[in-house]
Structures are given as C-alpha cells and as structure tokens.
Amino acid sequence: MNALTATGEALVLIGTFFYFLSALGLIRMPDVYNRMQTSTKSATLGSLGVMLGVGIWALGTDFGNVAWLTKTITIAIFLLLTNPISAHTLIRAAYKSGIPLWEGSVVDRYREHLESRKAEVEEAEKTPEEGGEE
C-alpha cells in the first residue's frame, strides 16, 4: 500500500458515492426537470472521480503504467464534454413535447423567452400591414 494506491482508492470511493447520490436524486426529486438537474451533475462528478482514481490507482500497482492514466483521462474529458450536451438535448425535447412543470416550480424562463419572441414576431408582422393601409 503506497501513496498512489491510497490516493486512487480515495478518489474511487468519492466517485462511487456520488454515483449513489445521483441515483438517489433520480428517486427523490418530484419532476423530470429536477431529476435531470440533480442526477446529471453528480453523475458527471462521480465519473471524474472514478476515472482519475482508477488511473492513479493503477500507477501504484505492479501491472500499471502511464498508459492507464492517459486513457482514463481521455474518457473523463470525453464524458465531461458530452454529458451536459446530452442532458440539454433531452430536457429540451421533454419541454417541447409538453411535459408540465412540478406545481411548486415558480420560475419558467424558457416560456417567458418564447412568449417574448412570439410577441416580437407578431409586432413585426403587424407594422408593415398598417403602413400598407396608410
């Protein structure tokens, strides 16, 4: 048991604990938007912990070399880049397909944005007609 193995094992423990917390948020939260909010963040953090932890842990063993750390860092960076993209796409599709918010939600900025843009378009359509009548 050397320092590299201990550090990697602690990182893996933190990562798997955050996996457990993300699954718990998936159970506990009231609607799909809150579930996505809690689960994706902690699953991404848990992935970072597990990947870096396994890379550092393998450096301290007799079979490991630097290629382990390189490959795990590559997977970690890929997950860090693509997890927010997939979460954003999923939640945008859920909103567009008409799933309602939880009744305790008080802020809906996306609907305000859509309504303001629709009002701008209607106003822009109305103005040339009035100009044409005159």
Partner 1 sequence: MIGINVYLALIAIATLLSMYRVFVGPTTADRLVAVDIMTTITTGLMVLFALYYKRMIFLDVALVYAILAFGGVIAFARYMEGGL
Binding site for partner 1 (CB under 8 A): 1, 5-6, 9-10, 12-13, 15-17, 19-20, 22-24, 26-27, 32, 35-36, 39-40, 43-44, 46-47, 50-51, 54, 57-58, 63, 67-68, 71-72, 74-75, 78-79, 82-83, 85-87, 89-94, 96-97, 99
Residue 127 to residues 114, 115, 117, Cα–Cα distance (Å): 20, 18, 16
We find the least distance from the C-beta atom of residue 106 to partner 1, in angstroms, to be 21
Closest CA to 90 of 44, 46, 35: 35
* CB closer to partner 1 out of 67 and 119: 67
Running DSSP on this structure, what letter comes out for residue 62? S
What does the alpha-carbon distance between residue 102 and residue 31 come to, in Å, rounded to a whole number? 6
Query: What sign does the CA torsion over 21, 23, 28, 33 have?
Result: positive
State which amino acid sits at residue 22: S
* CB closer to partner 1 out of 3 and 124: 3
* CB closer to partner 1 out of 84 and 115: 84
* CB closer to partner 1 out of 6 and 119: 6
